[in-house]
Chain A
Amino acid sequence: MKKVTKTEFINFLKKQSETFDIIAPIKGDKGIDYDIITDFDKIIFDHVNTDRSFKRFLFPQSQTLFEFKEGVITEAKKQNKKKFIVGIRNCDINSLKVFDYNFIEKEPVDTFYKELRDNTILITAACPASNSTCFCTSFKIDPLSIGHGDIGILFDKEEDSFYIQGNSSAGKDIVDGLSTKDTSDFDQKKEKYKKNHEKNRDLIKDKNLVEIFQSKLEDEKWGEIFKGCIGCGVCTFYCPTCYCFDIEEQGKFWNGKRVRNWDSCMFPIYSKETTGHNPRPTQKERYRNRVLHKFYYQLKHNNEYGCVGCGRCITNCPTNIDIRNIIKTFI
């Protein structure tokens, strides 16, 4: 581990920008969100979390799978600049367990995701505080960890300094060149931030959700909990772990491209078949699917939850559907 001043850290990022696109949180019209950085002084380090997760940089909302001209298929042109994403919170970095499983570990490998994943350096940051909507500790996530991603940092606002540690071999190589101050007070600092996370609730408390949900697939409560849900794409598009996509043809007959776009199991059309039959006919079944996919199906197959407790679906839902209540309802 190393310790550097803020100026040193910014200079370090500036140096990396020769090889990488630096993506980091900045303040926009709406709130704090990731963007490609041109002005390094604008990067924000002490926020709780970004409006949206960094998912779109590894799994863009719209991505060309291949192109075709006169019926001849060619690979889509790719933008090759490597990425360096700074400030990823612990909930969000854990979403990659879901993505890696679905797109890499489970055969066949999705080359689009893998390529972006391989060409991105991920810098996670210990969370300075939890919001009332944070519940990552339910999933055994430590908000103060700096052990995930290629590099981990802890920003200490008081001293305006960064503790920085390489985790992967690529990360270690990058961090290697930095000079350092004494880091022996790291644990002390970490301890200091702990109290900012008291709001973060463990809602699951070691309960076995696979067992619980297995017996509740047709529970009558499913008929109530979706309340005023309007079936939009907000919760799933904002969710760092949601990976569903639709494939569509763009262009004309024989000339065009095949593209994938984010999709959401909350849209009625998601499951509607050509005959008009819809196996999930109402929002009740669709909402149940979203919950079960997150807390049962994925857990059973991948031993990972499909939720990391970031709270974005809660803060952005236009009808105040709160996934924490759903968990509480069933366990």
Chain B
Amino acid sequence: MEVKIKERLSQLFDEQKINCAIIFEKGTMPDKNAPNIIYNKEGLNNLVWNSMNWNNLANYLPKLLGKKIGIVAKGCDSRSIVLLMQEEKVKREDLYIIGINCTGMIDMKKIAKDFGAEISETIFEKDSVKVKGKASEKEYKVKDFLLESCQVCKYPSPVIYDEVLGEQVKGFEGDNYQDITEFEKLSSEERREYFYKELSGCIRCYACRNSCPSCYCQECFVDSNQPKWLEKGQNIDDIFFYHIVRAYHMVGRCVDCGSCQNACPMDINILKLTKKLNKDVRELYKYECGLDPKNTPALSTFEPDDYNEFIK
């Protein structure tokens, strides 16, 4: 796969079809890879493709507006591309999309916990990873240690692409919001308590926001001082407010890639909020975002006979 991607991007640079490419590079740590934007084919030397490529690469597209971009896209990345096309943050004709049929990304934090010692090397096989430490070694099946979002991913194959690599993969066929259905059964006190506990660890580093391809606003509401929407200290209500409003800004715009949660250094489960809203959008509007560029996002349409009792 790696060789193939390199080959194709290299050709695309040669043919001047692209003048930059968004790729993954081999990380400096055995448990990480590094997203990078490269501007020539020499940049392809460190290209890597394995199950640690969780970052959503579409995140870098709005900053590259106007360039001819090659992008390596998993299923979720491709959905974000569709969304960004709908929102005019990227033009289809500026993109060359190398789609990847994705077999799922691995939760290295979970593996690290299980492994117990410092990881010194990871070797990826087809569907497993061999983890080596100073004195021990263990093999993990990727499918047993998938990231939360990948466990229930319905669209592992790119929904938009110029060419696609890898064997067709079957998406998750069960109910991908099952956990939310369970969560909804809790009383409102229990749910509140859950979030207060979870969010009390938030350090407001905004890695979740900055890692999300749908969060591209020039000025985020948390940074605005005219008007000032919220205070910036460690008051739990402000933290809660940040997360709820961010989730609301994601309604009909979140592709369930998990990039926000995976970026969080405090391991906070923020997908609960976005997933709940995604579930609502699916139920109320029969809509899933990032599937068809010709569609308009759920909350961007209005029909005169829409339910509007609440606007009085």
Contact = CB atoms under 8 A, between A and B. Distances in A.
B211 A230 contact: yes
Contacts of B14: none
Chain A CB within 10 A, most for which of B36, B204, B210, B211: B210
Interface string A98-113: 0000000000000000
Interface string A197-231: 00000000000000000000000000000011011
A244 interface: no
Contacts of A319: 34-35, 55
Interface in B198-249: 201, 203-207, 209-211, 219, 223, 231-235
Interface stretch (A69-77, A174-182, A302-310, A320-328): A320-328
Interface string A248-267: 10100000000101001001
Contacts of A230: 59, 207, 210-211, 263
B1 interface: no
Given A232-B207, A238-B265, A320 B231 contact: no
Contacts, number: 95
A227 B37 contact: yes
B120 interface: yes
A325 B265 contact: no
Nearest to A28: B201
B300 interface: no
Interface in A278-331: 314-316, 318-322, 324-325
Contact of B206 (A60, A61, A233, A238): A233
B232 A248 contact: yes
B204 A233 contact: yes
B27 interface: yes
Nearest to B209: A232
B207 A321 contact: no
Contacts of B55: 228, 318-319
Given A133-B29, A231-B210, A314-B29, A320 B232 contact: no
Contact of B210 (A131, A227, A232): A232
Interface in B180-207: 201, 203-207
Given A232-B211, A318-B263, A320-B27, A237 B33 contact: no
B28 A233 contact: no
Interface residues of A, number: 36
A61 B201 CA distance: 12
A62 interface: yes
A232 B267 CA distance: 15
Given A320-B27, A320-B34, A322-B29, A232 B234 contact: no
B233 A234 contact: no
Interface residues of B, number: 36
Nearest to B267: A30
A250 B231 CA distance: 7
Nearest to A52: B203
Contacts of A131: 118
Contacts of B201: 30
Contacts of A267: 206, 223
Q: Helix, strand, loop or mixed for chain A's interface?
A: loop
A252 to B, nearest CB: 12
A251 to B, nearest CB: 9
A246 interface: yes
B203 A233 contact: yes
A183 interface: no
B262 interface: yes
A29 interface: yes
Contacts of A30: 201, 266-267
A323 to B, nearest CB: 10
Chain B CB within 10 A, most for which of A231, A319, A324: A319
Nearest to A246: B232
B67 interface: no
Contact of A228 (B34, B219, B231): B34
B49 interface: no
A227 B35 contact: yes
Interface in B19-62: 25, 27-29, 32-37, 55, 59-60
Interface in A110-151: 131-133
Nearest to B266: A30
Given A30-B266, A314-B29, A324-B28, A62 B233 contact: yes
Given A234-B207, A248-B231, A322-B28, 13 more contacts: A30-B267, A60-B234, A62-B234, A62-B235, A227-B36, A227-B37, A233-B207, A248-B233, A261-B234, A314-B29, A319-B35, A320-B32, A325-B28
22 contacts: A30-B201, A61-B204, A62-B235, A131-B118, A132-B29, A133-B29, A231-B210, A232-B205, A232-B206, A234-B205, A234-B207, A238-B265, A259-B231, A261-B234, A318-B55, A318-B207, A318-B263, A319-B34, A319-B55, A320-B32, A321-B34, A322-B28
The 5 A-B pairs of least Cβ separation, nearest first, read A62-B233, A228-B35, A233-B205, A318-B263, A320-B34
